[in-house]
Amino acid sequence: MSADIGSWARWQAPEQIGWSSARLAEARAFAGSFNSAGTMVVAGGKVLDAWGEIDRHYNVHSIRKSFLSALYGIHDAEGRVDLEATLGSLGIDDKEGLSEREKLATVHQLLAARSGVYHPSGYESPNMLAIKPARHSHGPGVNWCYNNWDFNALGTIFRQVTDADIYADFKARIADPIGMQDYEPARDGGYHPLEASIHPAYPFRMTARDLARFGELFLRKGRWGGAQIVPEAWVEDSVAPISDAGLAGSYGYMWWVGRDGIHFPNARVPEGTYSARGAGGHYIVVLPKLDAVVVHRVDTDIPGNTVSSGRFGMLLRGILAAAPG
């Protein structure tokens, strides 16, 4: 039974644009061997292949951060955001109190995960907790760390400087203009209070077929239907390799960026590849060289149900083997 791609257009056969249906079938079969819940492959603006529960609302986990980054780009262009504003000038603090040095961190440094603020946060994976440096060990801008304090504080700052709700603003500014068919703020969003910090997380739930539209928006450099939804310069800055992220490649403004083919274990990605990632195996992978987007979902509502980055890398390698050339 075919996956429900909803309002997406679909190629009659992958071979129409040089992809291999046989290789895609092999990738689909491989995905059936582990805890994958759904995959969607879009190329040339249409669906090449899709399988699994691409119409089911799953938690996107940290993909939420790439959503917020896009909203920052829109409001920055409209003059509501000052990227050089410091935490101190914005009146941002937290339960344990921020030091004067920590308050020197700028919005720009938070977007790049380089604030140097390692105050306790929450909504963190075990790996995030494991890599978090000691409090006060680095000054602002010096060290890159994938740190939920930065990302959650950015949610607070966004609401403060724009006077907008993240979920409603995402619908009005992005979801509706690009034709997302499933996302509804009241059902799919809600701030998550944290015990250790005053800055809540802002989880989203979304379908794969809507996530694919977000990936396609960035693939088109922020344009959709002739309108510039996210400023092109912001898209380019967001996916620039600002910081070395080791085995994941590089990091931009809340997007992961490939570096010399390095992005996932067990796969070599084309130049220019970048991704939004959520814990447990949720991915939007944007492949500009192939004019393609790959979305992968996992039913992480089931405790302990995950797909490793290495396993997803093997799936991505199979999908890339179906590409032209």
User: For the segment 277-304, what is each residue's pLDDT rounded down to a tens digit?
Assistant: 999 999 999 999 999 999 999 999 999 9
pLDDT confidence of residue 204: 98
pLDDT at 41 over 90: yes
Cα 159 from chain centroid (whole Å) = 19
pLDDT at 308 over 80: yes
pLDDT at 44 over 80: yes
Report, as an integer, the average pLDDT of 48-63. Answer: 98
Burial class (CB in 10 A: 0-12, 13-18, 19+), 32: exposed
pLDDT at 1 over 70: no
User: For the segment 109-149, what is each residue's pLDDT rounded down to a tens digit?
Assistant: 999 999 999 999 999 888 888 999 999 999 999 999 999 99
Percentage above 90 pLDDT, the chain: 97
pLDDT confidence of residue 325: 83
pLDDT confidence of residue 145: 97
Does the pTM surpass 0.95? The reply is yes
Strands 243-244 and 227-228, sheet pairing? unpaired
User: For the segment 251-276, what is each residue's pLDDT rounded down to a tens digit?
Assistant: 999 999 999 999 999 999 999 999 99
Partner residues linked to 285 by β-bridges: 275, 294
- Contact status, residue 258 vs residue 294, Cβ threshold 8 Å: no
pLDDT confidence of residue 24: 98
Residue type, 222: G
pLDDT confidence of residue 243: 98
Question: What DSSP assignment string belongs to 119-156?
Answer: ----S--HHHHHHPPPTTSS-TTT-----HHHHHHHHH
d(CA 83, CA 157): 11
pLDDT at 322 over 60: yes
Mean pLDDT of the chain: 97
Map residue 189 onto helix, strand or coil: strand
- Contact status, residue 94 vs residue 122, Cβ threshold 8 Å: no
Helix (H) or strand (E) holding 108: helix 107-111
145's torsion region: left (phi>0), alpha (psi -120 to 50) or beta? Answer: beta
Percentage above 70 pLDDT, the chain: 99
What are the φ/ψ torsions at residue 215 (nearest 5 degrees)?
Answer: -60, -40
Predicted confidence band at 226 (pLDDT cuts at 50, 70, 90)? very high
Report, as an integer, the average pLDDT of 197-220. Answer: 98
